[in-house]
Structure 1
Amino acid sequence: MFTAQQIRHGMTVNDTHGLHIGTVDKVRDYVVELTREGFADGLHHFVPLAAVTNVDGNAMLVDPGHATTIEAVEGAVAYARGHPSMTNRSDAVFGTPGDASGMGGWGAR
């Protein structure tokens, strides 16, 4: 088990498949901000603390596919807000009770 306080500037970040992701810049709220170095887009990338699986010495291990830019997150949110399925918010996001989705009555339609 680890705490966010164990994550320090300069730590190496690898995913659980052994791929080098980046280097820790700082921890902000619920995300780890990585340095810009090593990313072709020249932007800071972020990893949610929930995706961190272990902190050991000077290395942090994360689940694969979680390093992303704030711009990518904002783009995904903007896409979701503009999607036609979001125009009628009277239905619950995860379906309605008894919709036979197999998800306890609250599955997606």
Structure 2
Amino acid sequence: MNYLIFDLSDSTDGIHTLEAMASTRADQQAAVQAEVQQVLDWAWQAFAHSHGPVDEGGDWDHDLQQQDEGGWHTVTLTLSASQAFLEAFEARFGVPGEED
């Protein structure tokens, strides 16, 4: 990942939140979108049947926000995750908040 760097927030109820935001010029928008799609494609494949609110038994849920303003494109991807999803995410993409 070159644009999305995830931050991890834990909660006491076993639901983890992974959030990444990228704000780039318009000419970098396609690269950011490709990274978002890579994460979502992986999630849909690895946890295809357990997408939904984690507090209702799902393994993951997501919210994708996009905004264009003054030549800048901002993308925010938030994932709610169960422990199993978080562990699989870390195995695939690395530990959130740690950079190489």
Work out whether the TM-score is over 0.5: no
The structure carrying a bigger strand percent of its residues is: 2
Larger RCO of the pair (alpha carbons < 8 Å, separation 6+): 2
Query: What is the TM-score when the length of structure 2 is the normalising length?
Result: 0.25
